[in-house]
Structure 1
Amino acid sequence: MNHATFWFRVRDSLWFLPLVYGICSIIAVGVVTAIDSWLVPQVSDSIPNIFLTGQSIAKNLYAALITATLTMTTISFSTIMVVLTTYSSQFSPRALQDFMRSKITQHVLGVYTFGFIFVLINLWLLTDNNQKELLSPFFTVIIAITSLGFFILFIHYAAHWVQVNFLIGTIRNDTSKIIREAFAERAYGEHQHWDHSQIESIREEDRQTIYASRSGYIQKIDYNYLINWATTNHLVLEANFQVGDYVPKGMPVFYFWAFSDINYEVKEHDQFLAIGDERTDLQDIEFSMEKLVEIAVKALSTSMNDPNTAINSINRIGGLLTELAGNYRPVTYYSDNDGQLRLIMEQKSFRDYLYKSFYQIKHYGKDDISVVYSIVEALYKLAIVTDNDSLKMEVWNFNNYILESVEVSKLSSMDYQYLKELMKKFADLCGEELNWE
C-alpha cells in the first residue's frame, strides 16, 4: 500500500492541486501563444476587434492583473490562517484536516496559481516585433474574471466554515459516509463466529510474525488485497491491532500460519496496511466522532462556556450512533470466496463507540444538567431506533454509567422532574424498573 500511503499524503497536502493547475497554466500559455503566432495573423480580418488587443495595452493589462491576482491570493491565505487559528483555539485541531482537504479550498488556490502563472508568462513573452494584435489578453481577462468569482466563492465558503454549526454538520455528514462504507457489503465473507476447534488447531501450528516497519497510526487496511494474498499462499492471519491504533516500530501487527509447502515471499505490510504520522478518517469511525467530542469539550470549558454548542454536538453524535447501530456487524472472522478462514481481526465493540463518544463529555459536563439531559435524551432516542435487544440493553447500561456522576437527589425540583420523566420513558422502553423517588 505504498502508493496508497503516498496518495493519502498528497491528497491532504495544500500544494498538490495548485501544482496541477500551474502545469495546466503553462500548457495553456503554450496553446495561446501558438494561436497568437500562427492563427491570428491569418484570420485577424475575420476576428472582431473586441477580441484583439495591441501590445502596449496588453502590457498594462497584464501588469494590473498580476497585482490583482497576488492581492486576492494574499487575502485568501490570510483567511485560511484565520480559519486555522479559530479551529485550533475554539473547535478541534483535528478538524483542520477537513478544511485543508476541502476541494473548494484547494481549487481556489489552484485557480489563483493558474491565473498568476498565465499572466506572468504572457507578460514575459511580449516582444517588440511587428505583431500588433493579440488574442491572449482576451483569454487573460476571462481568467481574471474567473479568479474573481472563485475569490468571492472562497470568502463565502470560509465564512461558513468558521461557523461551528456548519463545521459540526460537515463532520457529521462525512462520518455518516464513513460508517456506510465501513459496513458495506464485501466480496469476501464476514463472520461473527467460527468453529472454535478449528481456531485452536490453527493456533497449535507454528506461527510467524509481520512487524511494523515504522511507528505511526494505522490509517487503513486493504482487506481485499490481504485476503487475496492469504488465499494465494494458503495462510491464516491474525491482526494484532485495530484501525486507528498507534503502533511503535517493531511491534507485531500480524501473526500468520502457513498450511502449504509452497515457497512464498512474506510481504511487507506496506502492501496492505497504511501507517502514517496522523490519524485519518479513511476507515476510522472513532476518530471522526472524536472531532465532535472535542468540539463539545471545548464548548464546555470555562473560557468558552457554550453549552448549546456542546448540546448540538451531542445530538449529532447521537445521530451517528443511531446510524452505527443500524449498520453495525460484530465481525471477527473473514473468509475467502471458498469459505476458508483467512483473517482474524477483532472489531471495536458498540460499547467502545458509546464510551469514546461520551466519557469525556460526561467528565467535563457533569455539573451542567442541560448537558447530562442531552446525553440521556440522545441515548434514549438511540434505544428507540435500534431493533437489536442486546444493543438496547447496552445503551441502557451505558446510560446508568452516565448518571453515576450526577447527584440526582441534589437536583433542583424541575431539573429532577424533567430528568425523571425522561428516565421513566427510557426504562419502560428497555423493560427496566426506575427506582427513583
Structure 2
Amino acid sequence: MPKWLFALAQIGQQLWLRVALYSLTGVVTALLAAVLAPWVPEDFALNLGTGAVDQVLGILASSMLTVATFSLAVFVSAYTAISNAATPRAAALLVSDGRGHGALATFVGAFMYAIVGIFALQTGYYGEQGRVIVFFVTMGVLAAVLVALLRWIDQLSRLGRVDEAIDRVAKTALAAFQSPLAGRGSSPSEAEAGPSLPARAGKIGYVLNIDIDKLQSLAGEMDVTVFIEALPGAFVHEAQPVLRYAGRANLGGEDIGRLRACWVIGDRRTFDQDPRFGMVVLGEIAAKALSPGINDPGTALDVVSTAVRLLSHWVRTPADAAADYSHLRFRALSADDLLQDVFTPIAQYGASNMIVAARLQTAFGALMQLEDPEMTAAAQGNAQLALKRAMGELTLEEDRDRVRRVAGSFAGLSGG
C-alpha cells in the first residue's frame, strides 16, 4: 500500500488517537451550542423545559468516567489473558480492534462533553437559547453512549477468547493474501533483463510495507526493471540488498534512495502485507494450545481447518496478480514455506496426539486435492514429515495404524 496510507493505518490503530479525537469532538460540541443559540426562537426556548440538562450532564460526567476506567481495565485484562492463552502477537491484533477503541473513545468523549457543558452552564455561557441546543445535543450524546454500550457488551462476550483470536488472525491473513506481492504468478528471471545492481537496505529490521505502486512509477520513470529481493516479513540487515535493478549501467545515489524509500523497515513484523506472519501466528496459537500446561487439542484442530481454508483461497488466487507491474519482478510465495509456517509447530508439538496427527494428514490430503502441482508437492513433503514425527511419538500400535490409514488414503503418501 502507499507509504503514507501505511503510516496512517499504523497510527489509526493506536488507542490514544481515537480517544483524543472523540474528546476534542466532545469539547467542541459543548462550546458550539452558544454559536448556534441565535438560531433558536426565543419563544421556543421559554416553552421547552431544559432544567433537567444540568442533572443529566452531572450523571454523564460521573458515570462515563467510571465506565471508561472499567473499559480500560477490561482491555488490559483481555490483553493479558489472550497473551497467556494464545500468543502476544494475536493479543496485539485483538487490542487494536477498532470496535473496542470506538466504545472507549465514546465514553471519554461523552465525559469531556459533560464536564465542559457543566462549566458552561454554571458560568451562564449558553443563555436560554443555548440551553435548548445543549438539551438536544445531550439527547444525541446519550443515544451514542447507549449504542456504544450495546456494542461494547457484545464485544465483551468475545474479547479474550482464543477462537476470537483465531478468527481475527485468519481475517487479517486473508486480507494480506490479496496483496499483489502475495500473488502466485511467476516473474521473469533476472537473466532475461540482463545484469543487475543491488540497492542495500541500510537498516536492520523486518520489511513492513512496500509501496509497489510508487515503485512501479519510479521504475518506469528511470527506465529500469526492479527485482524485489526483500518481501514484507523478510528480515534484512544494513548490507543486504532490498532490490536489484537492471536496464541501466548505474543509477545515481538520489535515484537509488528514491527506490529504497518505497520500503518501510521496522522492529517487528506486521500483518498488513505479510500473509506468512498470519500463518506463523496461527501456528503459535496451536503450539501454545498443545503445550502440557494448557493441553487443548481442540484449538489446534480449529487452527488446522482455518489454515486449510486460507491456503485453499491462496491457491485459487489468479496467477496474473502482478500483471499491472510491468517494471517489477519478485518471487512468488512458496507453498512449502506457508505450510511449514503453520503446520510444522502443530506436527512437532502434536505428534504424540493421535487425533491431531490424523487431522494433519487429512488436512494435507485436502490440500493435495486442490490439483495444484506446487501445493501438492509441498503437502506431500510435509505430510511425510508429520507422519514420521507421529510414528516416533505415538506409543500404541493401534494409534499408529490409524494415522497410517489416514495418511495412506491419499495418493502419494507412504503408509510406513
The reply to whether TM is greater than 0.5 is: yes
What is the letter of the counterpart of residue 287 of structure 1?
Answer: F
| Alignment partners' CA distance in 2, 1:149 and 1:242 | 42
Of residues 228, 231, 240 in structure 1, which corresponds to 2:229?
Answer: 240
2:76 is aligned to: 81
213, 223, 231: which is aligned to 2:212? 223
Structure 1 Cα separation of the partners of residues 31 and 9 of structure 2? 32
Name which of 327, 336, 341 aligns with 1:351. 336
- Decide whether the 8 Å contact of 2:79 with 2:92 is kept in 1: no
**Is the 1:334–1:344 Cα contact (8 Å) retained in structure 2?**
no
Are 1:377 and 2:377 counterparts? no
1:195 shift after superposition: 7.9
Asked whether the equivalents of residues 61 and 111 of structure 2 are also in contact (C-alpha less than 8 Å), the reply is yes
In structure 2, the residue corresponding to 1:289 is in which secondary structure?
Answer: helix
1:90 is matched with which residue: 69, 85, 91? 85
Identity of aligned residues (%): 19
Taking only aligned residues, the RMSD between alpha carbons, in angstroms, comes to 3.0
Give the match for residue 111 of structure 2: 116
Q: 1:410 to 1:52 in 2, by over 3 A?
A: closer
CA distance in 2, matches of 1:168, 1:195: 39
Q: Distance in 2 between matches of 1:76 and 1:261?
A: 57
* Residue number among 251, 264, 267 corresponding to 1:274 in the alignment: 264
Quote the Cα distance in structure 1 between the aligned partners of 2:306 and 2:392.
26
After TM superposition, give the deviation of residue 287 of structure 1 in Å. Answer: 0.5
Q: 2:352 aligns with which of 367, 388, 393?
A: 367
Q: How many residues align?
A: 411
Per-residue deviation at 1:334?
7.6
User: Aligned residue for 1:310?
Assistant: 300
In 1, distance between residues paired with 2:127 and 2:372? Answer: 79
The answer to whether the aligner puts 1:53 opposite 2:37 as a matched pair is no
- Relative distance call for 1:383 and 1:328 in structure 2 (3 A) is farther
**Runs of 5+ unmatched residues, structure 2:** none
Distance 2:287 2:393 in 1: 26
Q: Hey, what does 1:39 align to over in structure 2? A: 39
CA distance in 2, matches of 1:261, 1:307: 56
| Unaligned segments of structure 1, at least 5 residues | none
8 Å CA contact 1:219–1:243 kept in 2: the answer is: yes
Please, which of 175, 178, 188 is the counterpart of residue 176 of structure 2? 178
Deviations 1:286-336 (A, max 9, x none): 1011221111111111111111111111221122122222227599x9885
Which residue is equivalent to 2:121? 126
1:160 aligns with 2:158: yes
Aligned: 1:319 with 2:320: no
SS of 1:348's partner is coil
The letter for the 2-side match of 1:360 is P
Q: Distance in 1 between the 2:330 and 2:109 partners?
A: 47
Residue 25 in structure 1 maps to residue 26 in structure 2: yes
CA deviations over 1:13-58 (Å, ceiling 9, x no partner):
112222222232233223322234x233xx2423695x5413xx44
Partner of 1:404, secondary structure, is helix
Task: Measure the CA separation in 1 of the matches of 2:44 and 2:235.
Answer: 67
Question: Secondary structure of the residue that 2:255 maps to in structure 1?
Answer: coil
Post-superposition offset of 1:137: 3.2
Q: Deviations over 1:81-109 (max 9, x none)?
A: 11101111111111123223222112112
Q: Which amino acid counterpart does residue 7 of structure 2 have in structure 1?
A: F
The 1:64/1:53 distance shift into structure 2, 3 A limit, reads same
Q: Note closer, same or farther for the CA distance 1:319–1:421 as it changes in structure 2 (3 Å cut).
A: same
2:10 equivalent in structure 1:
9
CA distance in 1 between partners of 2:3 and 2:415 (Å): 58
CA contact 1:4–1:274 (8 Å) conserved in 2: no
Question: Offset of 1:435 from its aligned partner?
Answer: 4.7
- What's the offset of the Cα at 1:269? 4.7
Q: Is the 8 A contact 1:335 1:343 kept in 2?
A: no
TM superposition shift of 1:236: 2.6
Aligned-partner SS, 2:293: coil
Question: Alpha-carbon deviations, 1:87-146, whole Å to 9, x = none?
Answer: 111111111232232221121122123212211111111245594562213422431342
TM-score normalised per structure 2: 0.88
Q: TM-score, normalised by structure 1?
A: 0.84
235-244 or 293-302, larger mean C-alpha shift: 235-244
Instruction: Name the amino acid aligned to 2:137.
Output: F
Contact 2:271 2:277 in 1 (8 A): yes
Query: What one-letter code is carried by the residue in structure 1 that aligns with 2:282?
Result: L
Counterpart code for 2:62: T
**SS of alignment partner, residue 409 of structure 2:** helix
Taking the TM superposition and a 5 Å limit, the aligned residue runs for 1:136-155 are 136-155=134-153
Secondary structure of the equivalent of 2:207? strand
Q: Does 1:394 align with 2:374?
A: no
Pair 1:297-2:283 in alignment: no
